[in-house]
Amino acid sequence: KACVVAPYQVSHGTLSPIEMSVQGNNLVSSLCLPQGFAITDATTFGNVSTALLSANSFLHNGDQLSIVHLLQSFSDFGIPHTSMKLHKIIIDPSDNIPFRVLIPQSMFQIVNGRAGTDANAEAGGIAYVLSRRSENKLHVSTQPIVLTPGNTVYQQYSSDQKKKEAVESYGSQFYYVDPLSGITRQDPEDEYFAITGVTLNGTPVAQGSGQMSVSTGNVVVISGSKLTDVELKVRILINPPTGSTVTIDLSALGSVVS
């Protein structure tokens, strides 16, 4: 069956909704993080929980943030299909599990002081759902799926009939959002080629800085993921500003390691 990611409403309830909007290549939510807070490989779920509680008065200890990621794909015959990946964050300042072990950066990072996705989030749509168990009742926020930047498939398949067929073609998981459900599902996100940083002699080079002046003995380090899965090339201007320009494989200048 054909299936297209659309702005479906994935939950309906009385808790404060988490707004999500497109900003450049990112989806940015209304969840605030304290100024100066950063998520590193050493950051724990407890650290993130404490940060979220201190910056968002509507969050409570024991709440759950469910990240619903609908992925858009196509069959070999060009038929659109969707799949779903789920991630959960239980608000618990005492949780010492490393955050990045279970929650990928593409699904939750800091964007201008707020929680959001990065440009490497696979095309489709995303929602952050807030849920809370109180007096033996499950409360949730009302959340729609927000399409990832650049996703144009929905526009091509957005007739009422097409949307009805898509909704009926897959089921929902009703109890994933219950903090007491005991469900431990945390889906891995596919890792894609990405350049996450460049340094020159140990000094970070800002994204969009343009040309770098590199001399003999300088050390340039390019960090990222899946760097060995693609053929990286570099464009070199010799004897600037009037010299000649050549394009060569990056591997000819140094080592490319995974």
Flag whether pLDDT at 29 surpasses 90: yes
Could you give the CA distance from residue 148 to residue 117 in angstroms, rounded to a whole number?
Answer: 9
Q: Are 141 and 229 in the same domain? A: no
In a domain, 100, yes or no: yes
In a domain, 184, yes or no: no
What does the pLDDT read at residue 100?
97
- Min mean pLDDT across 44-53, 84-93, 100-109, 181-190 is at 181-190
3-state secondary structure the chain: CCCCCCCCEEECCCECCCCEEEECCEEEEEEECCCCCCCCCCCEHHHHHHHHHHHCCCCCCCCEEEEEEEEEEECCCCCEEEEEEEEEEECCCCCCCEHHHHCCCCCCEEECCEEECCCCCCCEEEEEEEEEEECCEEEEECEECEECCCCCHHHHCCCHHHHHHHHHCCCCCCCCCCCCCCCCCCCCCCCCCEEEEEEECCEECCCCCCCCCCCCCCCEEEEEECHHHCCCEEEEECCCCCCCEEEEEHHHCCCCCC
Q: Is 187 exposed, middle or buried (0-12, 13-18, 19+ CB in 10 A)?
A: middle
- Min mean pLDDT across 29-43, 107-121, 164-178 is at 164-178
**pLDDT, average across residues 206-220:** 78
Q: Are 152 and 214 in the same domain? A: no
Residues 6 or more apart whose CB falls under 8 angstroms from that of 20 comprise 27, 28, 29, 30, 116, 126, 127, 128, 146
Flag whether pLDDT at 74 surpasses 70: yes
Q: Confidence band (pLDDT; 50, 70, 90) for 145? A: very high
**pLDDT, average across residues 102-126:** 94
In a domain, 82, yes or no: yes
Q: Are 38 and 148 in the same domain? A: yes
Q: Are 159 and 57 in the same domain? A: yes
**pLDDT, average across residues 146-152:** 91
Q: Are 226 and 159 in the same domain? A: no
Q: Are 33 and 95 in the same domain? A: yes
In a domain, 181, yes or no: no
Could you give the CA distance from residue 19 to residue 56 in angstroms, rounded to a whole number?
Answer: 13
In a domain, 248, yes or no: yes
In a domain, 37, yes or no: yes
Number of domains observed in the structure of the chain? 2
Q: Are 107 and 18 in the same domain? A: yes
Q: Domain ends where: 168, 202, 228? A: 168
Domain that holds residue 230: 194-252
Q: Confidence band (pLDDT; 50, 70, 90) for 174? A: low
In a domain, 81, yes or no: yes
Q: Are 213 and 127 in the same domain? A: no
Q: Are 53 and 117 in the same domain? A: yes
Q: Are 151 and 41 in the same domain? A: yes
| 237 or 40, higher pLDDT | 40
In a domain, 231, yes or no: yes
What does the pLDDT read at residue 258?
53
- The answer to whether the peptide bond before residue 241 is cis (omega within 30 degrees of 0) is yes
Q: Are 25 and 145 in the same domain? A: yes
**pLDDT, average across residues 21-47:** 97
Flag whether pLDDT at 171 surpasses 60: no
Q: Are 41 and 139 in the same domain? A: yes
Q: What backbone phi and psi angles, to 5 degrees, belong to 248?
A: -135, 165
**pLDDT, average across residues 147-163:** 82
| 61 or 193, higher pLDDT | 61
Flag whether pLDDT at 3 surpasses 80: yes
